A = this chain, B = another copy of it.
Amino acid sequence: MTSRFYAVYHVSCDAKTIEARAQALAIEQSVETPLSTISDPYVLSDIVGSIDSIQALDDGHFEVCIALATAATGLEIGQWVNMLFGNSSIHQDVILHDVRPSPELFAAFNGPSHGLDGVRRRVEAYNRALTCSALKPQGLSPKQLADLAGRMARGGIDVIKDDHGLADQAYSRFADRVAACADAVHTANAQTGGHTRYAPSLSGTLDDIRRQIGVARASGLDMLLIAPMIIGLPTFHAITREASDMAFLAHPAMAGAARIGPPLLLGKLFRLLGADATVFPNFGGRFGYTPETCRALAEAARNPWENLRPCIPVPAGGMTVERVPEMLSFYGLDCMLLIGGGLLGAEKCLTEQTAAFCRVAASFAMSL
């Protein structure tokens, strides 16, 4: 029997036609031609998608599980995503809700190189939530950004990431920015005895990103920010595999999360391709995810899944220090809290506000 993986869709449809709609979905995502045009017995038995199950959800919605051939993926992420949602992403009645990879797909993609435990070891933080902030706004010079980074590091934060919009702009070249911020963070660590990590944002093509990783490595860095849906999933997976000394923090930009279930895309898929931590919009912030979506996403990222390392959930998007206890009650300690504007708003007191953030995160742990 040929190896199959399972794609789970949520389909808006009436009960009378759901069987036909599911069959059309199975064909669209496998052979993409009417069965009547296929005569080859191997294609019919091993390649054509088949309906595994159809289950009614609420009125007018069904969960459809389609079995698809592992062989047709070529064990490559682009072609796999093509089979999961390529043409069907254009159909407005379908959401890609979940996926169950085959053992061959787990082995090919293989997940985080470091994950939750590896990142905890790097920043020496074991019994509390991890803390994170962002360098903003866009438009500052390397010197200005390095100043912010140094002050946050002195406040004792675990990870300082670039804003995901910091790329290789004329007013802040990647090489200049990374050298300056890395130096500021290393200097602060040397003074405080801390272990703050600076994670610069990667952008461009595979060639560009390889050069950028070279710069980061030369600056003594071991953590990077990356937006998989901007650079493309094949580039993302290639990079996590070949730069496996680096820990990768995934950013959700361009995730257009309405059509691919966020727990699947930002939780499972980014983890499977090697994200060590995954940033997502927390409920009650600037984005519309519900608590249920956020909980499912965090669980998809860190719960046991085959033999993959846990990926760190990083709730973000307009968070404040005041919300830390509530967020930790919700997510527990195996997460990284990301507060950007909520720290930067402290301006002159940036180090002190950062320290307050770290203190609240650490004391919550101690009160457990």
A contacts, CB < 8 Å to B: 24, 28, 30-34, 36-40, 42-43, 46-48, 69, 71-74, 76, 78-79, 81-83, 85-87, 89-93, 136-140, 144, 163-165, 167-171, 203-208, 227, 230-235, 238, 252-260, 281, 286-288, 340-341, 344-345, 347
Contact = CB atoms under 8 A, between A and B. Distances in A.
A169 B72 CA distance: 6
B206 A205 contact: yes
A32 to B, nearest CB: 6
Stoichiometry, as copies per complex, reads: 2
Given A139-B42, A340-B33, A167 B92 contact: no
A37 B341 contact: yes
9 contacts: A30-B165, A32-B163, A74-B170, A79-B167, A82-B165, A85-B254, A86-B165, A204-B234, A206-B235
B256 A89 contact: yes
Contacts of A254: 81-82, 85-86, 89
B74 A168 contact: yes
A33 B341 contact: yes
Contacts of A74: 167-170, 203
Nearest to A36: B345
